Amino acid sequence: MKTLKFYCVVAILLTVSFICYHQYRQMSRLNSTIKVQKVKDVPDMTLTVRMSSNAKLLNYFYCTMLRSLTLYWSGQLGPLGLILDKESQDDHKFAENLQKYQEQLGISMSFYYEPLPKNERVLTVAKYKPPGYNRQLYSSFIMDEFISTPIVAWIDTDAKFTTPVTRDNILTGNKLRVKGMNTFQYSWIHGWNKLGIKMIGKPMPSDFMTFFPVYIWRDTITNCRNHILKYVNVSTIEEAYIHVGSQDSGIMSPVNIIMTYAYYFEKERYDWHIDIGNVDLKKYNKLHLVPGYELTSASLTPDLHVTLHAKHYKDANNTVNRQAYCAAANNTVLTMEQDIKQMCEPFKTSVMWVLFEFCNTVKQEHLTTWCKNKNKHCISMIQEHYDKTRQLVNKGVYSLDLKKIKVVEEAAHFHQTKCPPFL
């Protein structure tokens, strides 16, 4: 009897260890595949969009952002995080439909539901803008309450990716890359600057609403908000938004407020690429910077864009998508269909200058500044960039699979959203 018991115990122990060992093996295999796929050592980030499901935003989201994202943003860089309106049934339905496509699109998605602000005055602060617009502005100051990754990669629904994104587009060493532009010729910048000063006490060193995604350390948002509370002398960000926003037009630029905060208080955590235009640096500093915080030439070096702002970029013949795709696929191991080869023929000798543009209906580009006279330095930056994307395509990080475009279009059908042809 005793020996039988003994054998039973041994048998059970053996079975248990076998199962454990097997699971351990499976887990380590899983871990090792994840490691192999990782794009170098990029900290976790969430490509973050604040939106709601109205027809116009849905159209931009699917046709412009998501179709280009599915080609040029690797799921390995991080998930897509959508912050939606909690009380909206349509937003919940939108999420329910969209999440079904994660696997086919090769990107995981997280959905966050933001409740209405407690004080409804938030929704009418910027008098000439609709409630949804106000809510989105306000919401930018609390993104860190939803997103938990160390980096928030912030993008709007009307941004269009124009190239595969590499680590070097995001980070220099362990500093997040920031681009800025001298757009002080535009009247709205002065409105933004005025309200920004009332929020954080510092003037904009440049316009940061000139590139996407804007990579922000999540805790910069927390720190900025805490700074605002102290500076405005209120106890909630709602109060600050209402108090400052009820002055002037009420239209503020949260991205500029957060990045201006980063410039004055966390400069060393970011790698700054500010295009001050064809203006003398001394003069620029005198006009726009606070003494002791002047820009130096180290912060003025060129950097590429990986998106453009489609709402403000006229592209009558839809050339950008075609040229972008041809540039990404050029000289890779991918076998191109005959029709794509034909489509790429006219671009054989063209340079992807689009990577130095952001808008063209308002002038926001670097072709007349950093890249004046289409200089060699910019050309070699573009070439180097494509050398890196080519490696990523060849390693399978980017498949450039046009079938994914069809998947996005199918997802959009749920809302009766019909996209024009992508290529």
State the residues that interact with ligand NAG by CB under 6 A: 233, 316-317, 327, 330-331, 347-348, 350
- Strand blocks (E) in 25-79: 45-50
Judged by beta carbon, residue 130 or residue 346, the one nearer ligand NAG is: 346
3-state secondary structure of 214: strand
Q: Which is nearer to ligand NAG, 149 or 330 (CB)?
A: 330
Q: In terms of CB distance, is 123 or 379 closer to ligand NAG?
A: 379
Q: Is the dihedral angle over the CA atoms 40, 44, 45, 46 positive or is it negative?
A: positive
> Smallest distance, Å, CB 383 to ligand NAG?
7
CA distances to 43, 156, 383 from 366, rounded to whole Å, are 29, 21, 17
Residue 347 C-beta: closest distance to ligand NAG, Å: 5
Between 153 and 326, CB nearer to ligand NAG: 326
- DSSP characters over 355-376: GGEEETTTTEESTTTTTGGG-H
> Which CB sits closer to ligand NAG, 5 or 348?
348
Based on CB atoms, which residue is closest to ligand NAG, 89 or 233? 233
CB of 318 to ligand NAG, least distance (A): 9
CB 382 within 8 A of CB 304: yes
The DSSP H or E segment spanning 99 is none
Compute the C-alpha angle 78/81/87, nearest 5°.
170
Distance CA 369, CA 3 (A): 87
CB of 350 to ligand NAG, least distance (A): 6
| Minimum separation from the CB atom of position 131 to ligand NAG (A) | 28
Pairing label, strands 214-217, 151-154: antiparallel
Question: Which is nearer to ligand NAG, 126 or 324 (by Cβ)?
Answer: 324
Smallest gap from residue 258 Cβ to ligand NAG (A) = 23
The tokens for 58 are 């849905």
Q: Minimum Å distance from CB 418 to ligand NAG? A: 22
Q: Which is nearer to ligand NAG, 187 or 349 (CB)?
A: 349
Output DSSP code: residue 78. -
Q: How far apart are CA 105 and CA 268, in angstroms?
A: 36
Cα distances from 312 to residues 98, 151, 178, 361, 387, in angstroms, run: 26, 27, 20, 5, 29
User: For ligand NAG, which is the closer residue by CB, 226 or 331?
Assistant: 331
Could you tell me if 199 and 244 are in contact, meaning their C-beta atoms sit under 8 angstroms apart? Answer: yes
Three-state DSSP at 262 gives helix
Q: Maximum CA pair distance of the chain?
A: 96
Inter-helix orientation angle 187-200/237-245, to 10°? 140
Cβ 392 to ligand NAG, closest distance in Å? 14
* CB 123 to ligand NAG: min, Å: 24
